[in-house]
Amino acid sequence: MESGSLDSYIEIENLTFYRGERLIFDDISVNIPRGKVTAIMGPSGTGKTTLLRLIGGQLKPTRGRVCVDGQDIAKLSRKELYLAREKMGMLFQSGALFSDLTVFENVAFPLRVHTRLPDVMVRDIVLMKLEAVGLRGARDLMPSQLSGGMTRRVALARSIVLDPAMVMYDEPFAGQDPIAMGMLVKLIRLLNDSLGLTSVLVSHDVAESASISDHLIILADGKVIGQGTPSQLKNSDSELVRQFMNGLPDGPVPFHYPAQTFGNDLLNL
Amino acid sequence: MLDQVRSLGRNGLQTLQTLGRSGVFLFFVIFTSQSIRISFPLLVRQLYSVGVLSLVIIIVSGLFIGMVLGLQGYNILVDYGSEQAIGQMVALTLVRELGPVVTALLFAGRAGSALTAEIGLMKATEQLSSMEMMGVDPITRVISPRFWAGFISMPILAMIFSVVGIWGGMMVGVDWLGVYEGSFWANMQASVDFQDDVMNGVIKSIVFGAVCSWIAVFQGYDLVPTSEGISIATTKTVVYSSLAVLGLDFVLTAVMFGGV
């Protein structure tokens, strides 16, 4: 299936974004299909996390539009934006758990702020979400007592506690041991399918991302250099895409940071 | 030469930008809309960590400063045979000047730096961002209660400081050095005016409370989220607060006690 014919949840049109003087995105257009797991990949420093922040409305595009579920995020008022965010969950790279609250209270936080549910019900919902990530038994621990993988799973439970329509994952696999990584891969897929979410995943772990996502988007140098299903991309004609997908050390993305020739440098010319 | 002019201009513009940002920030901090049901418990928790936990340092410093004032005052006044005036001297010094100023300096060091570091660490660990993404405004939820807690705590702490200090002065003057207790209190009562002295001291500490809390929360919110950024911002909080307090103290004193 062509990606253009899918029902899109997020539409990014002609997006240009500068951070200070630096051009991060140069007129990119991508669609993120509804109900699928989409992975945004690319070398470090290409602004993958920035793209998530643009989708979440924490940054505003210099030019172009970012539409989530038909709403232009940059045009919303402060109040509408906060309302729209209740339908988005986001898993931060560090987990970003509140260090002064227990695991249980961390997961309960969005419920306590946005709803007036009685405590009994909050408890049931929180236990349900913690059960889904396998940490019901850890509810009384403080975030400082958790391992890295557990922190991310608690954060995941917190990001789905309001039953959002979309969850964004910022580098969910970075710095995880193989067991934790396997668990997260399984959880992301499982949650997406059982809750009917749209998942957007930012990562540079090619193998893991390719194994769970339906749709891949590869960014480099501020442009989209390839998109499609994982198998389409593995056999792509583009040398850059192939270098990235196969993890080759040298290619269109050079191994060396730009410099004068080594000989001149040694002779101090 | 041209480079220096250029960097001067750039620094000037940056300073102005920061000032403007902090002004807009203060506006949002003060005019937040949140129901009492949510904001009151948050405020109480911050009052505890900002105010109640500062009590020990305030009481101990107040006691010693009062005792030193009593001792020094006695040694000077006794040469003129007017050691009964020691009560008046201790009370006026504390209520007008040392109470508000020293409390504000201690507050900047104890509570202000803690506020900056806490908010900065929340920013560095993406807690503020994640709050935003959960549809919760961190200014309402995190910053506002901390600002108001500092604003409310400071005058109360300054009053406690003055009271403890006067008691310390009395211990040294009356109990140790043998000034007659009756004249100690009578002199104080006769010379300390509620409106001119006590209220002006309270107004000072309210101003200092607002300024110190503003600097502390802004430095925390605006810092570069790295460990170096947090250490710079914490230092800035203490330095800027202390300078602002001492400078404003001169201005306020000139307005209150100067032109009469």
B260 pLDDT more than 80: no
A2 pLDDT more than 70: no
Cα of A93 to nearest chain B Cα, Å: 9
**A88 at the B interface (CB within 8 A)?**
yes
A92/B130 touch (CB, cutoff 8 Å), yes or no = yes
In this structure, is residue B20 part of a structural domain? no
Helix (H, G, I), strand (E, B) or coil at A195: helix
In this structure, is residue B4 part of a structural domain? no
Mutate one of B133, B136, B141, B224 to test the A interface: name it (highest A CB count within 10 A): B133
Kind plus residue range of the DSSP H or E element containing A68: strand A63-68
Which has more confidence, B121 or B36?
A: B121
Q: How confident is the model at residue B21 (pLDDT cuts 50, 70, 90)?
A: very high
Beta bridge mates, A98:
none
Contacts with B130 from chain A: Cβ below 8 Å:
90, 92, 96, 155
CB B174 within 8 A of CB B72: no
Query: What's the rounded Cα separation, in Å, for the pair B52 and B54?
Result: 5
- Residue B249: domain span: 36-255
Contacts of B223 (CB under 8 A, 6+ apart): B116, B120, B123, B229, B230, B232, B233
Residues B177-231: tens digit of each pLDDT: 988 999 999 999 999 988 889 999 999 999 999 999 999 999 999 999 899 999 9
A5 pLDDT more than 60: no
Chain B's closest residue to A156, CA to CA, is: B130
Contacts with A155 from chain B: Cβ below 8 Å:
130
> Please, where are the H alpha helices in B31-83?
36-46, 55-77
Average pLDDT (A189-200) is 88
Residues A123-144: tens digit of each pLDDT: 999 999 899 888 898 889 999 9
Which tokens sit at A210?
A: 């390719």
Query: What's the rounded Cα separation, in Å, for the pair A206 and A112?
Result: 38
Query: From chain B, which residues contact A within 8 Å (Cβ)?
Result: 38, 125-127, 129-130, 132-137, 141
CB B158 within 8 A of CB B99: yes
Question: What is the structure's pLDDT at B32?
Answer: 79
- Nearest alpha carbon to residue B145 among B13, B30, B226, B255: B30
Calculate the average pLDDT of chain B.
Answer: 92
Query: What's the rounded Cα separation, in Å, for the pair A135 and A122?
Result: 16
- Nearest alpha carbon to residue A154 among A112, A103, A202, A190: A103
Residues A216-239: tens digit of each pLDDT: 888 887 888 888 888 787 777 777
Helix (H, G, I), strand (E, B) or coil at B137: coil
| Alpha carbon A57 to its chain's center | 14
B67 pLDDT more than 60: yes
Kind plus residue range of the DSSP H or E element containing B146: helix B144-170
Contacts with B125 from chain A: Cβ below 8 Å:
94, 96, 99
CB B120 within 8 A of CB B225: yes
CB A92 within 8 A of CB B225: no
CB atoms within 10 A of CB A152: 29
Which tokens sit at B82?
A: 């007017």
Q: How confident is the model at residue B47 (pLDDT cuts 50, 70, 90)?
A: very high
Range name among A1-15, B116-130, B246-260 with the lowest pLDDT average? A1-15
Average pLDDT (A56-80) is 86
Q: Please give the DSSP secondary-structure letter assigned to residue A257.
A: P
In this structure, is residue B72 part of a structural domain? yes
Kind plus residue range of the DSSP H or E element containing A16: strand A8-19
Mutate one of B134, B137, B142, B226 to test the A interface: name it (highest A CB count within 10 A): B134
Helix (H, G, I), strand (E, B) or coil at A263: helix
- Nearest alpha carbon to residue A12 among A35, A33, A28, A26: A28
Domain count, chain B: 1
Contacts with A98 from chain B: Cβ below 8 Å:
127
Query: What's the rounded Cα separation, in Å, for the pair A173 and A171?
Result: 6
Question: What is the structure's pLDDT at A1?
Answer: 37
Residues A9-45 as b or e (16 or more Cβ within 10 Å = b): bbbbbebebeeeeeebbeebebbbbbbbbbbbbbeee
Average pLDDT (A13-30) is 86
Percent of chain A with pLDDT over 70: 97
Average pLDDT (A170-177) is 82
In this structure, is residue B28 part of a structural domain? no
CA-to-CA separations, A123 to A108, B24, B178, B242, in angstroms, rounded: 8, 39, 66, 47
CB atoms within 10 A of CB A179: 9
In this structure, is residue B2 part of a structural domain? no
Range name among A19-28, A223-232, A252-261, B37-46 with the lowest pLDDT average? A252-261
CB B62 within 8 A of CB B162: yes
Contacts with A96 from chain B: Cβ below 8 Å:
125-127, 129-130
Range name among A104-113, A170-179, B171-180, B228-237 with the lowest pLDDT average? A170-179
Contacts with B38 from chain A: Cβ below 8 Å:
113
Contacts with B133 from chain A: Cβ below 8 Å:
56, 58, 85, 88-90
Query: What's the rounded Cα separation, in Å, for the pair B170 and B126?
Result: 51
Cα of A110 to nearest chain B Cα, Å: 7
Average pLDDT (A62-87) is 86
Residues B217-234: tens digit of each pLDDT: 999 999 998 999 999 999
Which has more confidence, A172 or B149?
A: B149
CB B157 within 8 A of CB B62: no
B123 pLDDT more than 50: yes
In this structure, is residue B13 part of a structural domain? no
| Helix-helix angle A103-114:A148-159, to 10 degrees | 20
In this structure, is residue B137 part of a structural domain? yes
In this structure, is residue B23 part of a structural domain? no
A83/B135 touch (CB, cutoff 8 Å), yes or no = yes
Query: What's the rounded Cα separation, in Å, for the pair A169 and A88?
Result: 11
Query: What's the rounded Cα separation, in Å, for the pair A35 and A69?
Result: 12
B126 pLDDT more than 90: no
